[in-house]
Amino acid sequence: MPDRQKHRFSAIDLFCGCGGLSLGLRKAGFKVLAAVDNDPLSVNTYRKNHRRTLLIENDIQSVEPVAIMQQLNLKAGDLDLLAGCPPCQGFSTLRTFNGAYEIDEPMNDLVFEFARFARVLLPKTLMMENVPGLMNDDRLRRLRRRLRTLGYKCDAKVFDAARFGVAQRRRRMILLASRVDRPVFAMPTRRERTVAEALRVLLEPENSEDPIHNYPVRRGDHVLSLIRRIPKDGGSRTDLPEEDQLECHRKFDGFKDIYGRMAWRRPAPTITGGCINPSKGRFVHPEEDRAITLREAAVLQGFPKGYLFDLARGRYPVAQMIGNAFPPKFAEHHARSLYRQLEASLQNRSLTALS
């Protein structure tokens, strides 16, 4: 897209976190006018990277959409896209034991904030991302019903980010809604981006001055000796002879990926908030005897290597922000689809006005 055409349409990002979604929206050509989040560290991080966006640090339930409209000089129906990723803890299949029972969390009801904002702002289109578990939750059905009442056509599907230019397996539900036309999802590709392709933009951590890449980490001898023995490039602790495995792992068969290494020529596993801890998943570097760094995790999520993160509270909260993000490239693909629809509707309107 030529630069001068960029940012023709407007967007607001609810639950903006560190800004993965906003970055994707900007790449797709949207101007992100405002963003809301109640976590001070996420807000600081967001501000460092998206300086022109009106940033509201508050519990979304206390934010009046009308106040945002006044600040931005918007009327109902002016906004092109309302987008966001409500917190998803309670919908995760891990938390609900593969959906066997539901965990009621007040945080889950935050999905309805979308409908509350949509009712007042009446944006032309909407995009919401969440874990696949939401697909089977009654709250999604209720949200869709509310949006339909407001005149939106909705569709929700689960996609893997690996099919949208992200070097990572990450299944996520995306809801698209539109008052313009039936929303259309971006087409997945066959080609998957690999860990090697994503990480080759980075220097070795010890040669880097990036504070989230060369952050000093000390691991216990026990863990180090285990990691050293995991076969390079995709190996697991289950590849080790039984006598080399930890007592607790021998007894317990679950979570086979923990202490596993990523494979150079495959996408990474889902980057979670635990992504710098080898005991939380397959987060060991393909060949070095260490977990991936925060910068590697961010790059595997699709953030550019210069994206700034606030280390004021140490590395674990940064890992959490990175793991929570909507991979920018994944967001970009679906946002582009909405962008094209908005463009087509603008052209149709000009043609109708001419005839």
Catalytic residues: 88
The position carrying tokens 């607001």 is 12
Span near ligand SAM by CB under 6 A; candidates 10-18, 165-173, 174-182, 288-296: 10-18
The position carrying tokens 């696949």 is 132
- Of 117 and 283, the one with the shorter C-beta distance to ligand SAM is 117
- Of 91 and 259, the one with the shorter C-beta distance to ligand SAM is 91
Q: Least distance to ligand SAM from the beta carbon of 161, Å?
A: 12
Sheet holding 54-57, edge to edge: 54-57, 30-37, 9-14, 81-84, 125-130, 171-178, 153-160
- Of 258 and 318, the one with the shorter C-beta distance to ligand SAM is 318
CA 283 to CA 290: how far, in whole Å? 9
Residues 241 to 260 in contact with ligand SAM, rule: CB under 6 A:
none
Span near ligand SAM by CB under 6 A; candidates 156-164, 233-241, 321-329, 342-350: 321-329
Span near ligand SAM by CB under 6 A; candidates 95-103, 198-206, 302-310, 319-327: 319-327
**Strand boundaries in the chain, DSSP class E:** 9-14, 30-37, 54-57, 81-84, 125-130, 153-160, 171-178
- Of 110 and 297, the one with the shorter C-beta distance to ligand SAM is 110
Pick from 6, 31, 48, 87: which binds ligand SAM (CB under 6 A)? 87
Torsion of CA 74, 77, 81, 87, to 10 degrees: 90
- Of 111 and 198, the one with the shorter C-beta distance to ligand SAM is 111
Paired strand residues for 160: 171
- Of 16 and 118, the one with the shorter C-beta distance to ligand SAM is 16
Enumerate residues 6+ apart whose C-beta is below 8 A from 104.
90
Q: Rule CB under 6 A: say whether 85 interacts with ligand SAM.
A: yes
Q: Which two tokens stand for residue 255?
A: 């979570």
Residue 281 near residue 294 (C-beta atoms within 8 A): no
CA 155 to CA 337: how far, in whole Å? 13
Enumerate residues 6+ apart whose C-beta is below 8 A from 303.
20, 23, 322, 325, 328
Binding mask 11-50 for ligand SAM (x = CB under 6 A): ----xxxxxxx--------------xxxx--x--------
Applying CB under 6 A, the site for ligand SAM has a residue count of 21
Q: Rule CB under 6 A: say whether 161 interacts with ligand SAM.
A: no
The position carrying tokens 């960029």 is 6
Q: Least distance to ligand SAM from the beta carbon of 35, Å?
A: 9
Q: Which two tokens stand for residue 99?
A: 């959906």
- Of 87 and 234, the one with the shorter C-beta distance to ligand SAM is 87
Length of the chain: 355
Q: Least distance to ligand SAM from the beta carbon of 101, Å?
A: 23
Q: Rule CB under 6 A: say whether 91 interacts with ligand SAM.
A: no
Q: Rule CB under 6 A: say whether 287 interacts with ligand SAM.
A: no
Enumerate residues 6+ apart whose C-beta is below 8 A from 223.
259, 278, 279
Q: Rule CB under 6 A: say whether 302 interacts with ligand SAM.
A: no
Instruction: Report the largest interatomic distance among the alpha carbons of the chain, rounded to a whole angstrom.
Output: 80
Q: Least distance to ligand SAM from the beta carbon of 131, Å?
A: 9
Q: Least distance to ligand SAM from the beta carbon of 300, Å?
A: 14
Residue whose C-alpha is closest to residue 199's, from 231, 233, 171, 226: 233
Q: Rule CB under 6 A: say whether 188 interacts with ligand SAM.
A: no
Interface contacts to ligand SAM, rule CB under 6 A: 15-21, 36-39, 42, 59-61, 85, 87, 110, 324-326
